[in-house]
Amino acid sequence: MNMKKLELILSILTIIAVIMKLFLLPWSAQIFIFAMMGLCLIYMSSAYLYQDTTNLKEFFKQIITTQKKLRYFGTGFSTILIGCLFKLSFWEHSNTIIITGLSIITVSLAVHFLQRPHLKIKMIMHRAIIIGGIGLIVYSIPLNAIIDVQHRSNPEYAKLLKKSFKDPDNKEILDKLYKLQEEIDQ
53 shares its domain with 115 = yes
29 shares its domain with 97 = yes
pLDDT in tens, 121-179: 777 788 889 999 999 999 999 999 999 998 898 899 999 999 999 988 999 999 998 99
pLDDT band at 57 (very low <50, low <70, confident <90, very high): low
pLDDT of amino acid 48: 47
120 shares its domain with 55 = yes
153 shares its domain with 172 = yes
Query: Cα separations (Å) of 38 from 2, 32, 35, 167, 179?
Result: 14, 10, 5, 34, 34
149 shares its domain with 130 = no
101 shares its domain with 24 = yes
Q: What kind and span of H or E run contains 170?
A: none
107 shares its domain with 31 = yes
pLDDT band at 70 (very low <50, low <70, confident <90, very high): low
Residue 171: give the domain boundaries. Answer: 144-186
Count of structural domains within the chain: 2
83 shares its domain with 156 = no
DSSP-derived secondary structure for 75-129: HHHHHHHHHHHHHHTT-TTHHHHHHHHHHHHHHHHHHHHHH-TT---HHHHHHHH
Could you tell me which residues come within 8 angstroms of residue 158 by beta carbon, excluding any fewer than 6 positions away? 147, 148, 151, 152
134 shares its domain with 67 = yes
79 burial type by CB count under 10 A (0-12 exposed, 13-18 middle, 19+ buried)? buried
DSSP state of 52: -
20 shares its domain with 96 = yes
pLDDT in tens, 16-53: 999 998 898 999 999 999 999 999 988 887 644 544 55
- pTM of the complete model: 0.81
148 shares its domain with 183 = yes
The residue ranking higher by pLDDT, 157 or 109, is 157
User: Does 110 score more than 50 pLDDT?
Assistant: yes
Domain end (from 110, 125, 141):
141
